[in-house]
Amino acid sequence: MHYIGTRNETISATASQAILKGICNDGGLFVPNEIPKMDKSLQELMEMDYKALAYEVLKLYLTDFTEEELKYCIENAYDEKFDTTKIVPLVKKADALFLELFHGKTLAFKDMALSILPYFMKIAAKKNGIDKEIVILTATSGDTGKAALEGFADVEGTKIIVFFPEDGVSPVQKLQMTTQEGKNTCVVGIRGNFDDAQSAVKSIFTDEQLSQKLEERGYLFSSANSINIGRLVPQIVYYFYAYMQAVKQGEITIGQKLNFTVPTGNFGDILAGYYAKCMGLPVHHFVCASNDNKVLYDFFETGVYDKNRTFHVTVSPSMDILISSNLERFLCQLAGQQKTKAWMEALQSKGSYETQELKNSEISGEYATEKETFEAIKKVYDQSGYVMDTHTAVAYASYEKYKNKTKDTTPMVIAATASPYKFAKDVMTALDKSNAKEDTFALMKKLEAVSKVPIPESIREIETKKVIHHHICEKENIKDFVTNYLLG
């Protein structure tokens, strides 16, 4: 197996090359030339813990990594950084199964892939004889930044630069990033939104002149965003794991199908689920959940993708995205490179494109308004004592709409993508309006009391940690910032 481009099938790269490069020179994304089939039976997979399962999935995608190399990456990634040996517990609350993807160091699902990506990079560099310093450029809507910083801080041979929307992340998300230690880290607030940051980063990657200049100075760019295939592949693992947990916990019998609702921004998480289904995992349907930035909902309803609309800053900031990069991989899977290239060109030039290929798709869209998100938090808490974060709540509200519309009774797994502690203020306000006036750290103590989940250590720390990073940059100047920072 090898990797090809979403806009050009004649591009060919090994897994390690695709991970190092992050994105194709023509702006397309790397995809496997064929999605591999799982070569173990569900019965066999049932016997495995998270790490063993991870090996079975990763070996099918990272085919130029040896068994020893993959196991080294897995052992180092999924260790005590996670606060449970299950890594991703599946818990039944209210009428759904919540797949808790937030037990890693930075309390969001980004840890699932970003705990392992630095190890992939290190091995990929060695494999390809790269002696350059790898510069990880990262655009973040809030959670990727911290998870990438945590993964790459003080990793020899790397530098990491993170761009986040100065006014578009939660107070906890911001503090998590601006207090980041590590000599090789750089954190920059931008006056713009995630789409501005991601577009700038993509254009830096495809700027050949700049790449060449940097190469001369001993630097090589790569990406920690989900445009990097090394981010996507580790996310496939937990869909298999969720399934096995559901069987073990008696929610389904082996072979029976599950549904998944995934709170979506850049379309990376849900795409990993779709890949799992293509590999043979018994999944009936995916619900792609959006917040008020419902460009994906409209797309799945009408086949028209149109980013020309107002950008909303919501209480689920990690989903405040109008250009969902990984949708390109899904389109390529459905319709091939030629059409994908034309659509992406139309997206670039006029901000929209229209497809006819989505009939009978296994994915449909739903969305939740701010009010519905708050109501979902309150409702699930009142019913079960379970406190969802705002992103998980968008998914839950979307699930309810899907269920009411379709009467589909397939058991539903909700991807619980963040700990409520990251969004303590909004979560506590949803439970009681009078909390809106209180300080975030005071609300964490209240959250601890109502949820009976102890405040995670990594979040307790940031209250007293020193803010180290103060850079602010206009969205138009991101490329200049990078050039100056690296070339001086």
Ligand X SMILES: *Cc1c(COP(=O)(O)O)cnc(C)c1O
Q: Which residues bind ligand X (CB under 6 A)?
A: 108-110, 143, 226, 263-269, 318-319, 391, 417-418
CA distance 302 to 349: 20
User: How many C-beta atoms lie closer than 10 Å to residue 13's C-beta?
Assistant: 18
Nearer to ligand X, 413 or 486 (CB): 413
> Which CB atom, from 69 or from 389, has the smaller least distance to ligand X?
389
How far apart are CB 98 and ligand X at their closest, in Å? 13
Burial 319-344 (b: 16+ CB within 10 A, else e): bbbbbbbbbbbbbbbebebebbbebb
Q: What is the number of residues in the chain?
A: 488
Beta partners for residue 3, in sequence order: 13, 32
Provide the minimum distance between the beta carbon of 210 and ligand X in the complex, in angstroms, as a whole number: 26
> Among residues 173, 60, 64, 81, which one has the least CA distance to residue 120?
64
* Residues 17, 32: Cα–Cα separation, whole Å: 12
| Closer residue to ligand X, CB minimum distance, 228 or 266 | 266
- Cβ neighbors of 232 (< 8 A, separation 6 or more) are 113, 226, 268, 271, 272, 275, 326, 329
Nearest to 108 by CA among 176, 193, 22, 188: 176
Rounded to the nearest whole angstrom, what is the least distance from the CB of residue 265 to ligand X in the complex?
A: 3
Pairing of strands 158-165, 133-139: parallel
Contact 99, 88 (CB under 8 A): yes
Nearer to ligand X, 69 or 366 (CB): 366
Tell the smallest beta-carbon distance from residue 10 to ligand X (Å).
Answer: 28
**Residue number with CB closer to ligand X (110 or 202):** 110
Least gap, CB of 269 to ligand X (angstroms): 4
> In the complex with ligand X, which residue's Cβ is closer, 318 or 458?
318
Residue 265 per-residue DSSP state: S
Question: Minimum Å distance from CB 392 to ligand X?
Answer: 8
DSSP 433: G
Residue type, 232: L
Nearer to ligand X, 108 or 117 (CB): 108
| Least CB distance to ligand X at residue 484 (A) | 29
Q: What are the CA-CA distances from residue 105 to residues 160, 348, 421 (Å)?
A: 18, 36, 13
DSSP tag of 303 = S
Which pair of structure tokens corresponds to residue 197? 């940051």
DSSP 288: E
Concatenating the DSSP letter of every residue in 17-54 gives HHHHH-S-TTS--EEESSPPPP-S-HHHHHT--HHHHH
| Closest approach of ligand X to the CB of residue 107, in Å | 9
Cβ-based nearer residue to ligand X, 93 or 122: 93
Q: How far is the CB of 208 from ligand X (least distance, A)?
A: 28
Q: In the complex with ligand X, which residue's Cβ is closer, 210 or 272?
A: 272
Asked if residues 260 and 252 have their Cβ atoms less than 8 Å apart, the reply is: no
The answer to whether 119 touches 19, Cβ cutoff 8 Å, is no
Q: Which is nearer to ligand X, 376 or 486 (CB)?
A: 376
- Tell the smallest beta-carbon distance from residue 483 to ligand X (Å): 27
By C-beta, is 96 or 214 nearer to ligand X?
Answer: 96
CB of 143 to ligand X, least distance (A): 3
Instruction: Count CB neighbours of 38 within 10 A.
Output: 18
